[in-house]
Copies of this chain bind each other. A is one copy, B any other.
Amino acid sequence: MNLRIPGPTPVPAEVAQAGAAEMINHRGPEFAAMLRRITDRVQEVFQTKGDLLTLTTSGTGGMEAAVVNFISPGDKVLVVTIGEFGQRFLTIAKIYGADAQQLAFEAGTAADPARIDDALARDPEIKAVLITHNETSTGVTNVGLSEVGKVVRGRDRLLIVDAISSLSSIPVATDEWNLDVVISGSQKGWMVAPGLAFVSVNERAWAAAERCTTPRFYFDLGRAKKSMASGETPWTPAVSIFFQMDKALDLMYAEGIDNIYARHARHGRMVRDGARAIGLELFASEGVESNTVTAIRVPEGVKGGDWLRIAREEFGTVFAGGQGELSGKIVRFGHLGYCTDEHVQDGLKALEGSLARARGTHGS
């Protein structure tokens, strides 16, 4: 199967195999050394000198950690949404009692930093801004993130970024861009099985955590930081996924992080050009298309569900459909993490072949 969804991505054989290594004591010296090796390198990819904490949870758990550690009930926050994952951030913030104001941008477009600045200027009570860097549901990258960072820091608010599906595939300069809290997840650009979330926390964010009254235990980042000092995690970690992560970072560093960014940019272009060449329309506006996932409009007369099914059953390729309101309206082609030129070329062939068949199904 050519797994072309926006995560989990395929896992290179060496990485998958590394996860099968002999189990170790999670409170012993081997784990401590591995945790440090992983942390140092993930921190470097995050481009941060802040703390980098690894949680045994999926990306959504990382998002929850980014809310419950820094936002107290009643805190006014601005949640910038450009799709489903922004909505998820909004839901989490509301559930935990934040006075969450939504600043929504149309699906397929990116956030406008100037409008964020306006919102902050109008309301000095807003304490934090939550934003998605790469919106998997629409195939859009918030390309103005560094500008958003400037704006939010300029107004002295906290900036919390879901970079789950971008970080390590698309450059994120955490410190330089003034991002106070950043989240990523193992099953995306890191080309590892799902189960680990990474959260970076800078000094400004720790100060907010100290003031934060939201109850937290499993996702308490303060506890994670404290345990990290002795090379441990507070709770039993997903050791086999740490093994995979350790190996995946070896491969990533061998390829070179900048080369990985270049590969993702090239594959993004290949998929967009390939899709257009088949006569398909992209969902994302020009200039904000993601280099990790491409959302393609389902053409008139084609049922999205049929297209996906035929791609899977007859072309051995798994694409993702649309979520929520976009269900049946788009097909999403993932090209992040472990993705070769062949994966992309085969994916494009499968896209074209299955589309023809899906049209046939409903044609004549």
Binding site for B on A (CB under 8 A): 1, 3, 5, 7-11, 13, 16-17, 19-28, 56-61, 64, 91-92, 95-97, 185, 187, 193-195, 215-219, 234-241, 244, 312, 318, 320
Q: How far is the CA of A5 from the CA of B9 in the complex (A)?
A: 33
A20 contacts B17, CB within 8 Å?
Answer: yes
A18 vs chain B, min Cβ distance (A)? 9
B238 contacts A58, CB within 8 Å?
Answer: yes
Q: Which residues of B contact A238 (CB under 8 A)?
A: 58, 193-195, 238, 241
Q: How far is the CA of A239 from the CA of B16 in the complex (A)?
A: 12
Nearest neighbor of A338 in chain B, beta-carbon distance: B23
Contact with A194, one of B7, B20, B56 (Cβ below 8 angstroms): B56
Q: How far is the CA of A185 from the CA of B26 in the complex (A)?
A: 15
Q: Which residues of B contact A91 (CB under 8 A)?
A: 217
Q: How far is the CA of A57 from the CA of B194 in the complex (A)?
A: 11
A33 vs chain B, min Cβ distance (A)? 14
A95 contacts B22, CB within 8 Å?
Answer: no
A20 contacts B16, CB within 8 Å?
Answer: yes
Nearest neighbor of A244 in chain B, beta-carbon distance: B240
Q: Which residues of B contact A217 (CB under 8 A)?
A: 60, 64, 91-92, 95-96
B16 contacts A240, CB within 8 Å?
Answer: yes
A312 contacts B28, CB within 8 Å?
Answer: yes
Q: Which residues of B contact A27 (CB under 8 A)?
A: 5, 320
Contact with A218, one of B1, B61, B193, B237 (Cβ below 8 angstroms): B61
Nearest neighbor of A1 in chain B, beta-carbon distance: B22
Q: Which residues of B contact A13 (CB under 8 A)?
A: 20
Q: How far is the CA of A96 from the CA of B3 in the complex (A)?
A: 40
> Could you name 28 residue pairs across A and B whose Cβ atoms are closer than 8 Å?
A3-B22, A8-B23, A8-B26, A8-B236, A8-B239, A9-B23, A11-B23, A13-B20, A16-B20, A16-B21, A19-B193, A20-B20, A25-B320, A56-B58, A56-B195, A57-B57, A58-B237, A59-B235, A60-B235, A61-B218, A96-B217, A187-B239, A193-B239, A193-B240, A194-B238, A194-B240, A195-B241, A240-B241
Q: Which residues of B contact A16 (CB under 8 A)?
A: 19-23, 240
Q: How far is the CA of A17 from the CA of B21 in the complex (A)?
A: 9
Nearest neighbor of A30 in chain B, beta-carbon distance: B1
A57 contacts B218, CB within 8 Å?
Answer: yes
